[in-house]
Structure formats: C-alpha cells, structure tokens
Amino acid sequence: MDLNILWFILVTVLFTGFFFLEGFDYGVGILMPFVGRNDLERRMVINSIGPFWDGNEVWMLTAGGAMFAAFPHWYATLFSGFYLALFLILVALILRGVAFEFRSKDEKPAWRNLWDWLLFVGSLLPALLWGVAITNLIRGVPIDARMQFTGTFFDLLSPYTLLGGLAFLLVFTLQGGLFLALKSEGELKERSRQAALRAGAGAALALLLLVIMSYGVTDIFSRFLPGILLGSAFITLLLSLAGLYTRRYGPGFLMNGLTVILVTAGFFSGLFPRVMVSSLNPEWSITIYRAASSPYTLKVMTVVALTLVPVVLAYQGWTYWVFRQRVKARDLEY
C-alpha cells in the first residue's frame, strides 16, 4: 500500500480512537455538576473515569505526533491556522487535569465546587471545539498556494461549524451519560439516564441537521462511502437511544461509540486524499502527497508504529478490564 495512504488511515484511526475514548470522558465531566447532587455522588462520578482519563488523552498526543511526523505541512498549517482554538483546548485540558488533582486537597464546599465547575468547563470546551475543528477541515478554510493559512480565528466560526461543534458536544455528553449509567447505581444511575436521554434527543437532531447541511456546504457526498458512513451513524445513534430508553446500557454505549467512529470515518473519508480544503481555490487544498514526509521517514515510522501500537492497545485494554467494576458509595474512603 502507498505509505501516504497508510498514514492517512492511521491518523484517522488515532483520531477515531481518541474521540471514542475521550468522548465518554468529556461527557462525564460535562454531566458531573448536574447528576451529582452532593459531594459523595460527585466523587463517585469522578472515580468512574479516574483510572482512564489521562490514558485516553494519550490518543490525542499520539495523533498529533503522527500528524507532525507523517504530514508536517498539514501539521504546520493546521496548528498555525487553528492556533487560538487549539490553545483554548490546551488551556481547558490543563484546567481539567488540575481539577482532578486539586479538588480533594481541601474539604471546604466552596473549594470543591470551584474545581467541579472548572472540570465542567475543561470538558465542555474541548468537546465543542473539536467538532468545530473537524467540520472546518471539510468545509474549507482560507489556505493560499503556499499552504499557509491566511484567515483569522473568526473564519473558523460559521453556522455549519458551530453546528458541528454542538453535534460533537451532545454525542459526547450522551456517551458520558451512558458510561455513568454503566458504572453507577441507585439515584445517580437514574439521573445519568435522564440526562443522557435529553442529550441524546439533541444529539439526534444536531447530527441530522449536520448531515443535511454537509450536503449543501461541502463536497463530502460526491463519493459513495462518506454518505453511507454518516447515514449509518444516524441509525446507530437512534439504536443507542433505544438501548438507553429500555435500560440496556451496554448495547446503548456500544452503539453510540459506533456513532462516534462512523462520524469520524465519514468526515475523514470525505476529506481524502486532501487533509485540509482550501476555500480560496480547490487546487490549493493540501493533499496527503503535498503534505507528506519523505518515503524513508514514513517507512521508519511504519516499523515503529507496528511494533509499539499493539503494546499500547494491550496495556489500555488491561486497564479497562481491571477497573471494570461499578463505582459504589461504600467503596469510597472518607
């Protein structure tokens, strides 16, 4: 296989894995102030993702590193053009990580409430901005013939991309609600279900509108595969809601996870062989061939990836297996 194509697929897989895993992670952080009615319940919510959240973020770092090494021109244009948006994501993730650690340093309610809301903001902002970023890739941004971004932060904001951000946010919130329903019990479990049902109804509407708008705003449906993937994503989202409604949380969680996978794959397959679309001139769009590193670099990276990625997958799978039990109030230390 052409190594340029192989690495485009691998970058897509890394982003897909990141959105699948970090999606429920963000969703739990978003729901925490609303489903946790007291400090004990909020501790249970945090403990449900405590063993996983930092490992999930490794997928984002790996995706960025793979992009930098395999497609340096893509990395340079994306990170310069989306600089403010990515900076906001970074600040939010720092606040989020600090909130996990600092919340328990003081028992004062005001202190813990502050970090609870910073955890909420640190989860909501990345979920929203990642959706904006992905939809901008396919909608197109001002890129000139030298592969340089010539616009501003406000060029990234449009009804279409903001709808994309809202769709990602609601799908992730639904995923977080399903995860909490799997990991909790009692009133916390029921409140998580109700929150997930509300988020899911909004997610279904937002995703449907996003698919419809994609038909008019982008060329994503000029090929057969993206349309099939995005259409299937809407179906799996409805199946997820059906599982949630009937309290079959495991199948619901898997179906919504499949929705995340199908949406990501649909957008990246619609993008291929481009990695960023130029809104100034389609011929100035950055492709996997214009953006790629040397063939030797791609060969070395392929060997390293095939060697180390299975180890990472095995370790993370082991982590989820070890911490698979429900979080129970009686198990928390006081």
CB 32 within 8 A of CB 47: no
Would you state the pLDDT for residue 174?
A: 96
Alpha-carbon span 289 to 12, nearest angstrom: 16
Residue found under tokens 């794959």: 265
Taking the model in full, what pTM does it have? 0.92
Q: How do the pLDDT tens digits run along the chain, 334 residues long? A: 689 999 999 999 999 999 998 888 999 999 999 998 888 888 889 888 888 888 888 888 889 999 999 999 999 999 999 999 999 999 999 999 899 888 888 888 899 999 999 999 999 999 999 999 999 999 999 999 998 999 888 889 999 999 999 999 999 999 999 999 998 888 899 999 999 999 999 999 999 999 999 988 888 888 889 999 999 999 999 999 999 999 999 999 999 999 999 999 999 999 999 999 999 998 999 999 999 999 999 999 999 888 888 888 888 888 888 887 777 766 665 4
| Torsions phi, psi for 248 (to 5 deg) | -100, 80
| Distance from C-alpha of 197 to C-alpha of 19, rounded to nearest angstrom | 20
State the distance between the two ends of the chain, measured CA to CA, in whole angstroms: 56
Query: CA angle, corner 107, sides to 23 and 32, nearest 5?
Result: 20
Which domains, and CATH codes, for the chain?
3-317 (1.20.1630)
Query: 197 to each of 177, 180, 194, 245, 288, how far by Cα in Å?
Result: 8, 13, 5, 7, 40
For 143, what's the count of Cα atoms within 13 Å in the CB-facing half-sphere?
Answer: 29
pLDDT for 334 equals: 47
* Residue 253 confidence (pLDDT): 94
Which DSSP string corresponds to 164-233? HHHHHHHHHHHHHHHHHHHH--HHHHHHHHHHHHHHHHHHHHHHHHHHHHHHHHSSGGGSHHHHHHHHHH
